[in-house]
Amino acid sequence: MEKTKGLYYAFLSSFTFGFAPAFSVALLESGYSPQEVLSYRWGIATLGLVVFGLCCHYNFRLNSRQLLTVAGLSIFRSATSLSLIYAYSYISTGTASTIHFMYPLAVAVGMSCFFKEKWSWRIFGAIVVSICGTVLLCLGNERTMGTEHPLIGIAAACVSVFAYAAYNIGVNKSCASRINSTVLTCYVMGLGSLYFIVWGWLGGGIRLESELANWLYILGLALPATAVSNITLVMAIKKIGSTLTAVFGAMEPLTAVLIGVLFLHEELHLAGIAGIVLILSAVMVATRQKTSPETKPHNSNP
């Protein structure tokens, strides 16, 4: 039962996160700077999480050790968002998603090397297949073509790989695993929003948005693609561990490409269809893997 819940949370997290590239690019094309996008994204997400947590009567009090841990996690999570949005500025979202999706492999290697997690060839195979599927999916979608300054974008996307892997592992293997998922996500988002707001003001200020269309992009980015995706990510990691949760990240580029096809009239070619088949196959293989004691975090507090 716990594994089923974890798989559901992992699927929901990766699905909702898949909306982030479209909303981020829409704001960038409206003239927003990366720090403005992230300030609104994380700031609004934090407000939503605070309201939700207060309505549920969650305890937001943390001890000093937990605060230090959360501060470290917020740096890794902030670095992920920052590097990805810079990648979107220099290369296509499809290419950035392809590179970013190397993070499940980084999670698996990190868990094996630093925490002696038992190596599962089934999970390793699922990761490799899902990476291949992601590459085919993005190659089969025309968003991957025609970009400027690709090396900067590629480097930024590579940073996101290691930052997001570190965040996934940190949530699993630190005292953060004993913090309520909403409270943990609220602190991570709140500290991150402070980083971006300060950086934004130092870099020329942050605009006060008045256009309805841009507010819809902001709310879509902040609530489902940030607040919901990050809460369910933490809940999934607590239920099924970092490695298996990372495999479900394959749904992120899949969602992003399908949004482009269904709503932005982009084309999906044969390579993309093959990628979808590989991704879904990898997820099905991964869900058949039994969660070992090593992969389970030491507390399942939701």
Q: Is 108 within 8 Å of 124 (Cβ atoms)?
A: yes
- Checking if the pLDDT of 37 tops 80, the result is yes
Quick one: pLDDT at residue 135?
A: 78
Confidence of residue 4 (pLDDT cuts 50, 70, 90): confident
Label each residue of the chain as H, E or C.
Answer: CHHHHHHHHHHHHHHHHCCHHHHHHHHHHCCCCHHHHHHHHHHHHHHHHHHHHHHCCCCCCCCHHHHHHHHHHHHHHHHHHHHHHHHHHHCCHHHHHHHHCCHHHHHHHHHHHHHCCCCCHHHHHHHHHHHHHHHHHHHCEHHHCCCCCHHHHHHHHHHHHHHHHHHHHHHHHCHHHHCCHHHHHHHHHHHHHHHHHHHHHHCCCCCCCCCHHHHHHHHHHHHHHHHHHHHHHHHHHHHHCHHHHHHHHHHHHHHHHHHHHHHCCCCECHHHHHHHHHHHHHHHHHHCCCCCCCCCCCCCCC
Q: What is the pLDDT of residue 2?
A: 82
Q: Which of 15-19, 181-185, 277-281, 293-297 has the highest mean pLDDT?
A: 181-185
Computed over every residue of the chain, the mean pLDDT equals 84
Whether 251 shows a pLDDT value over 60: the answer reads: yes
In this prediction, residue 292 has a pLDDT band, given cuts at 50, 70 and 90, of very low
The mean pLDDT value for 94-102 works out to 76
Phi, psi of 74 (to 5 degrees): -65, -30
**The pLDDT of residue 286:** 65
Once rounded to an integer, what is the mean pLDDT over residues 107-127?
80
Q: Contact 301/179 with Cβ under 8 angstroms?
A: yes
Q: Residue 255: what pLDDT?
A: 79
pLDDT digits (tens, 9 = 90+) for 213-227: 999 999 999 999 999
pLDDT, position 147: 52
Does the pLDDT of residue 79 top 90, yes or no?
yes
- Among 18-32, 41-55, 267-281, where is mean pLDDT lowest? 267-281
Each residue's pLDDT tens digit, 61-73 = 999 999 999 999 9
